[in-house]
Each structure stands twice: as C-alpha cells, then as structure tokens.
Structure 1
Amino acid sequence: MIRKIIHIDEEKCNGCGLCAKACHEEAIGMVNGKAKLLRDDYCDGLGDCLPACPTGAITFVEREAAGYDETAVLENKKRKMQKEEGGISQLTQWPVQIKLAPVNAPYFNGASLLIAADCTAYAYGRFHEDFIRDRIVLIGCPKLDACDYTDKLTQIITGNDIRSLTVVRMEVPCCGGIEHAAVTALKNSGKFIPWQVVTVSTDGRILQ
C-alpha cells in the first residue's frame, strides 16, 4: 500500500539516538551508529520522532510500505519486557506440581523429563534457560508435601515414552527425598534411559 511513512537521511544523522528514544513503537533503531527504520509495519506515520531529531534528518515520504501493525508492535514490546525481566518462560505444560500432574498426558510422549525440587528455580538464576528448555518439568518438595513421590513417578515413567530423566535438587538434606523418589521410580520402571542428578548450592552454584 502507498502511505505516509518516515524517511531517515543517513548523511544528516549524527547518531544521537534521540529519535529512537522518541519512537514509542520502537520502529527506529541504531545500526552502525546511524538511525534506521527497522520495520515499516512498526511505524504509525505520526512522526513523534521528527521533533526529536536535532539535525533534520527525518522527514515524511509517501511510498509503498506495509501497513502499521499494532498487534506486532505490542508483541514486540511484550517480548522486550520479558527479556528485561529475566527471559522468556520455557515452560510448555501445566500443571507442574508432581501431586497435580496426570499420570498420562500427550506431552510425556518422547519427553525429556525434568524432576526438580521447588527451591532450585529460585536459587539458580538461569533455571528456565538451562533446565526447563526442551524438557517437561515436574516439581515438588517431599518435606512440604509430606509424601513419597515414588509411586506417582513410577507410573509416569512406566506408562509413557520418556527419553531422558534429569533430577535437579538443592544441596540441603531434605532434597534427598526427591532424588531418591526419582531414581527409585526409574529403577522400578525397568526402563534403561539416560539420567542425571544435578545439585544446586544455596548460593545458586551448580555443584555436580
């Protein structure tokens, strides 16, 4: 479509970045020290960036351009906010509590299963990126739940096509219960699948 949209004269641009800050839609970015219109569909054509430019490098033109896409702009802002707040969630299924999880569910088929103590996600800052990514996650705390997860986990491993098992626990003694339940469940299932236990320290370090 032919519509009004901004044009940036790179020869006049001094690289101050004020236009990028003024653009609420984040259509403008700094590339190699110069302002650049990153996406036509992010530009609403209202020109909030024009008065911010000290060199007059930005003007309006009429040309063939994609229409302004408010939905795409909002999604971009959402993604940016999530990154600034610590990253995008890697969780792909619900529920995650061992007590609430079904014994059989489609997401278990072909899954790399993560069984984690509740506290690990709080102690280890990159938990989503390093452990939840590409895995189905089940969490619990034997001390708080006052139960043995072994039977439930045995049913899940036995009744589904689990490809691998990762157990993440804290270094504290009470986490021994979740490791014992997971390892015993794997043995009870009679299956031979790759498995590992990762221990996190109380100050957020990987110990093994």
Structure 2
Amino acid sequence: MIRKIIRIDEEKCNGCGACADACHEGAIQMIGGKARLTREDYCDGLGDCLPACPANAITFEEREAPAYDQAAVKEHLAKTQNQWPVQLKLVPTQAPYFDDSDLLIAADCTAYAYADFHRQFSKNRITLIGCPKLDAVDYTEKLAEILKSNDIRSLTVVRMEVPCCGGIEYAAKEALKASGRSIPCQVVTIGINGTIL
C-alpha cells in the first residue's frame, strides 16, 4: 500500500537517539550509531520523531510500505515491557518475549561504564546480561538454544574492551553458529573510559 511514512537520512543523522526515544511504537532503533527505521509496520506515520531530531534527518515520504499494525505494536510493547529475568543464568530458553525480537546480550559492566546504555542499546530489545568471568559458566549452549527455539530478528553483543569480556562475545558467536540460523549480528565494544570503541 502507498502511505505516509518516515524517512531517515543517514548522512544527516548524528546518532543522538532522540528520535528512537520519541518513537512510542518502537519502530526506530539505533544500529551502528545511526537511527534506522527497523519496522515499517510499527511506524504510524504521525511523526512524533520529527521534532525530536536536532539534525533534521527525518522527513515524511509517501511510498509503498506495509500497513501500520497497531495490534503488532501493542504486542511488541507488552513483550518488551514484561521481560523478566534479565540475568543470562536465570532466563528461560523459551519465552513469549523472545518471539520476533531483537536480542541484546550485554556484559554486566557495560551498563555502568556507558552512561547512555539504556537508550542506545536496551530500548526496544530483549536484554540478557551476564559476566563470563564471575558467572564461571559457558553460555554457548544456552544461547544457541535461545537462538534456535525463538524467532530472533537480530543479535547485538555489547562488551567491555577488557580481555575477560571476550568470553561473552565468543559465546554469542559460537551460539549463533551452533543455532544454524542466519541472524544479523553486531558487536559493540565499550572502552574503560566509557566510550564506544
């Protein structure tokens, strides 16, 4: 169907994330430091994100796009707001909130080291946290089961630059291989000074 929908100009986007905060439907996510319209069917075309953008990177356009799916938006918001627990050790391998979700696997320290963690990484994602050093367990098998058993759309791993955090990245990558699924995956490294490397 032809309808009004937002367009994000990546060249103008400064990565502030204000549009993602302003989007009440969860249609916009920050990926690779840029705002992206990840779910066209979640975009209601009303443009709450437009005035929030300080870089004027968002405009309206009329084009072919899926219809706005209010029921899917309500279901998505209910799932992401009702996720519990978040500790990788405690989370079940199957849960309704995993279906049709973007999954974030984060090392415990990242949320404390990076001040904007919630807005930039965990908002609109199902978040699992763990520490490969303190938990003293290999999460590969559990993560592989989560990826195999649920409809995961994307995988983001956030780790610290310190060597012990390599375990969580390794477990996620090995789990993805073991799952046999083709899921887009990105790794973000946070420096000990609190910046994205």
Q: Which one has a bigger Cα radius of gyration?
A: 1
What aligned pairs does 1:60-139 form with structure 2 within 5 A after superposition? 92-139=82-129
Q: Are 1:153 and 2:168 an aligned pair?
A: no
* Local SS of the residue matching 1:199: strand
Q: CA RMSD in A?
A: 1.1
For residues 112-158 of structure 1, give each alpha carbon's deviation from its aligned partner in whole angstroms, at most 9, with x where no partner exists. Answer: 00000000000000000000011000000010011100000000000
Shift in Å, 1:91:
6.0
2 CA distance for matches of 1:92 and 1:140? 19
1 CA distance for matches of 2:135 and 2:115? 24
Identify the residue that residue 34 of structure 2 maps to in structure 1. none
Identify the residue that residue 49 of structure 2 maps to in structure 1. none
2 CA distance for matches of 1:94 and 1:124? 22
Identify the residue that residue 187 of structure 1 maps to in structure 2. 177
The sequence identity of aligned pairs, in percent, is 68
For residues 51-110 of structure 1, give each alpha carbon's deviation from its aligned partner in whole angstroms, at most 9, with x where no partner exists. Answer: xxxxxxxxxxxxxxxxxxxxxxxxxxxxxxxxxxxxxxx865110000100010000000
Among 158, 161, 164, the alignment partner of 1:168 is 158
Contact 1:91 1:132 in 2 (8 A): no
1 CA distance for matches of 2:82 and 2:157? 18
* Local SS of the residue matching 1:143: coil
Aligned length: 118
TM-score, length of structure 1 as denominator length: 0.56
2 CA distance for matches of 1:145 and 1:97? 10
Runs of 4+ aligned residues of structure 1 deviating over 4 Å after TM superposition are: none
Specify every segment of 5 or more residues in structure 1 that has no aligned partner in the other structure, as ranges. Answer: 1-89
Letter in 1 for 2:171: A
2 CA distance for matches of 1:91 and 1:188? 29
1 CA distance for matches of 2:168 and 2:147? 15
